[in-house]
A and B are shown apart, each in its own frame.
Chain A
């Protein structure tokens, strides 16, 4: 198959929202100012597990400057077992509401209990502190193994199986026979701590409940339609009563899909009769939003003397936090997804504990399980005397490989990623000295499709306005505009992309699942094809011909030709403006594989790790804007390195997070990382016209095991706990 040539795709134009973002003009949620705006504050539980006996808001309501106080009692009445579904699967309404404002019990320290709106944020905070809540403190349970043990404190009475909210089981082949064929079996159990996405912009929401019964919301969200639908569900309103305007978003990584503040701001606004703005503090973000699950994963792999895997078994227990929904299913689906294995058994448990209710974080669930698989494989490679990439290549998944959860892969780039790692300058360079180690690992993420919509309107000057609903979290205005430009034969800068509110564009799913460039890109592509068809019809009318060709931005027929801009100038005379929309719900999603090579040094006296060199390799399918593809790979790598080495929720025995600040949560600073080398592999996705796969997530899967394997090579120790911080490395 010949490689298509592109004019715009693969180039690196300046992003369309760039000037606003480097001059301070871009408006993020907290930047919004409205007439008569008042400010809110949330009262949060100091206890990890307690019954709420009484809430007295009278002192707060009496404070001068206070406009409204709300609690869970202000939600409209609903049956206890009501189920809601807004495109993300069934959820119990009481759970959805319960995490937004606690009712009956608080389930984690930081759980929202009540909210206040006041003349300014200082008065609101003072008023929140005046709300008197009487608690009956209950014993708490903080880890999955402890919560699964007999006699553990029970969080939810409605769950039939104690704290185990869900189990998942995937089985393939004959496990016992597979292990019987093995000449070497390695089994390891590894724990990971709860970590946070760490986006720099705290959650925020401003709401105005109008006298006509409609609610307008301005917020920082990865998905304006999901925020709309969730808010409507929580408030028991038709979705058409809620309009969400997505403001610029300061990072999300999966953590800004769930709603926390939007319904509360709406309830406060209804009472106050004014728009209400809520902005979280950094501590609120750590303790009141969804981190990613802590986990325990056990993996057992058998190989024959040639290094071919004969059987693989995994047991996973993930901490959901306060409400069901840990990412154990994707953890289980991805645990062996990089390899072609006949005999597999995977069991996973979704376990509720007294920690914040978890949310998605970049390839959610996958880093936890890949840590175990990839470190076990490293040990097998060492014991067999094989190069660790060679071992992986002997087992790598390919087109036709069946995953344990059922599907067979279409064209994938696992082998190509491994080969690129093996051929890289980094992998072939020597290590710099003693106490240094090199580790490798790979990982997989499915990517998702979901619906997207786009509208293209041709301007008389030959440019095109692009209306879309995908929050731009890292350059998607550019990657979408480039796809339109490629189809229309224009330059990227001829397309003017705008992200609009939920009343102004067709339904569009979240910016998540590495789907925006793929899925919204497809909507843009399809809309652009419609534009071309209409423009051809106009040219045909002008020239009185039946057939018009379009190539390289030029319409032609019978010796006539007009550029896109020239024809655009004549639209008024040929029937009026051209504006085309497309809505897609694509099925041709292409999964992405990624790998990481890590060199590091360990100070043998202090246990401190210095990351010396890293190379991130990922299959992008087709890189639309390579600079932002590299950016995704570098960002995922940096987050993964922080997760591997230092980040964790440090909880005391009572479930209070003791390091809920950027000072003590220890995300990597500029001084903690080297340059992050990238190698983009392009194995086109047959399910997308340009071959796009989506690159947002798979890159965070390899860092945990890559670091663990490098640490082993540097220290001779195989650690069984992430973060592999200095004290853990020294065993102190």
Chain B
């Protein structure tokens, strides 16, 4: 690994200033992607900026309406272990427990998962399904980007030079709503999703009032499939309706073949995983008050 300097700013303005003055800087939160990439030579850095000492990036804020703001550097275990998050966002607590094994969860963050912008990122389809937005800060001030618009290509995203992710914001879940993320991996842990599906679903008067669906590992970026969700609106939550939505998700996918799975297998899994994620989201919506 090439030599670099290390900085650990204690405030957002300090971090933004440092980032702006260092074109070859890399941000370090949990380091579970960055250090692997630096070691393998896939990424280089002159300076590594550790953002974990910035208070705002370490906060979890659950508002009275249950909207949720997660600091970009909050390690996954704090979500999994958070009683209120387990109650109000069971899917989020689950996905946080699946990003790497136990020692990785002490380090890895949803913010890092989002900024690494891998097509296979486990948390992103769920964040899209939950209508989350990314709160950014940079030399030009603060802005907010919907998560579905954040990733632009494998490993690339909307972050402009000098900009960093502060937090992920999830709006308050509607009454009678549920969400789920399911992934297919050949092992039971320590694996990258061959296909993942995140879904959310809201019921009103026995019909589906809102639904969102997104997939991982089937396109250059985590893939939001608006048509799949829209097809469910106004429908009764029948197996046929869920299956039809899953078919739309499958049609939107453009998977490739690689060491983790063939395109044909991934395409097949799209429909299976989308339907199963919708079924679990529906079950949670039916249980929710």
Contacts and interface: CB of A to CB of B under 8 A. Distances in A.
A–B contact at 8 Å CB threshold (below): yes
Interface in A673-732: 725-727, 730, 732
A151 B66 CA distance: 68
Interface stretch (A182-190, A632-640, A657-665): A657-665
A650 B257 CA distance: 12
A726 B269 CA distance: 11
A59 to B, nearest CB: 16
B259 A606 contact: no
Nearest to B273: A606
A608 B258 CA distance: 18
Nearest to A662: B190
Interface string A416-438: 00000000000000000000000
B191 A658 contact: no
Q: Is the interface of B mostly helix, strand, loop or mixed?
A: loop
A664 B186 CA distance: 10
A672 B192 contact: no
Contacts of B190: 662-663, 669
Interface string B155-196: 000000000000000000000000000001011111110000
A664 B260 contact: yes
Interface string B1-30: 111000000000000000000000000000
A236 to B, nearest CB: 36
Nearest to A658: B259
A606 B188 contact: no
A727 B184 contact: no
B187 A669 contact: yes
B189 A669 contact: yes
A201 interface: no
Contacts of A669: 187-190
Contact of B3 (A122, A606, A666): A122
B132 to A, nearest CB: 26
Nearest to B41: A129
B187 A671 contact: yes
Nearest to A123: B3
B188 A732 contact: no
B146 interface: no
Nearest to B272: A605
B3 A672 contact: no
A126 interface: yes
Contact of B259 (A126, A608, A659, A732): A659
B131 to A, nearest CB: 28
A646 interface: yes
Contact of A727 (B3, B191, B262, B272): B262
A588 interface: no
Contacts of A250: none
A668 interface: yes
A732 B192 contact: no
Contacts of A606: 184, 269, 272
A9 to B, nearest CB: 39
Given A658-B259, A663-B192, A732 B187 contact: no
Interface in A444-478: none
Contacts of A646: 186-187
Nearest to B268: A732
B261 interface: yes
A730 B191 contact: no
Nearest to A607: B265
Contacts of A732: 262, 264-265, 268
B2 to A, nearest CB: 7
B22 to A, nearest CB: 21
Nearest to A281: B39
B265 A671 contact: no
Interface in A385-414: none
B186 A671 contact: no
A611 to B, nearest CB: 11
Nearest to B264: A732
A663 B191 contact: yes
Contacts of A608: 184, 186
B250 to A, nearest CB: 13
Nearest to B195: A606
A126 B2 contact: yes
A440 B1 CA distance: 49
A697 to B, nearest CB: 25
A726 B259 contact: no
Given A126-B2, A663-B192, A730-B268, A668 B259 contact: no
Contacts of B192: 663-664
Given A122-B1, A126-B2, A650-B259, A727 B265 contact: yes
A727 B185 CA distance: 11
A199 to B, nearest CB: 18
Nearest to B3: A122
B187 A726 contact: no
A126 B4 CA distance: 14
Contacts of B260: 664
B269 A666 contact: no
A24 B2 CA distance: 30
Contacts of B187: 646, 666, 668-669, 671-672
Contacts of B186: 608, 645-646, 666, 725-726
Contacts of B272: 605-606
A266 B110 CA distance: 47
B118 to A, nearest CB: 12
A662 B192 CA distance: 11
Q: Which of B3, B186, B188, B264 gathers most chain A CB within 10 Å?
A: B186
A365 to B, nearest CB: 26
Interface string B31-49: 0000000000000000000
Interface in A517-545: none
A309 B283 CA distance: 56
A730 B260 CA distance: 15
A726 to B, nearest CB: 6
Contacts of B268: 730, 732
B189 A727 contact: no
A666 B261 CA distance: 13
A406 B189 CA distance: 47
Nearest to A725: B186
Given A608-B186, A666-B187, A658 B258 contact: yes
A658 B188 CA distance: 21
Contacts of A671: 187-189
Contacts of A672: 187-189
Contacts of A658: 258-259
Q: Which of A662, A725, A727, A730 gathers most chain B CB within 10 Å?
A: A727
Nearest to B40: A283
A608 B184 CA distance: 9
Nearest to B100: A663
Q: Which of B2, B3, B259, B264 gathers most chain A CB within 10 Å?
A: B259
Contacts of A666: 186-187, 191
B265 A726 contact: yes
Interface string B245-265: 000000000000011111011
A560 B265 CA distance: 81
A666 B194 CA distance: 13
Q: Which of A122, A126, A605 gathers most chain B CB within 10 Å?
A: A605
Nearest to A125: B1
A666 B187 CA distance: 7
A650 B186 CA distance: 15
Nearest to B186: A646
B135 to A, nearest CB: 30
Contacts of A605: 272
13 contacts: A122-B3, A126-B2, A658-B259, A663-B190, A663-B191, A663-B192, A669-B187, A669-B189, A671-B188, A725-B186, A727-B265, A732-B264, A732-B268
Interface of B: 1-3, 184, 186-192, 258-262, 264-265, 268-269, 272
Q: Can you list the 4 inter-chain pairs with the closest CB atoms, starting with the nearest? A: A732-B265, A650-B259, A727-B265, A671-B188
Given A725-B186, A726-B186, 14 more contacts: A122-B1, A122-B3, A645-B186, A658-B258, A666-B187, A669-B187, A672-B188, A672-B189, A727-B261, A727-B262, A730-B265, A730-B268, A732-B264, A732-B268
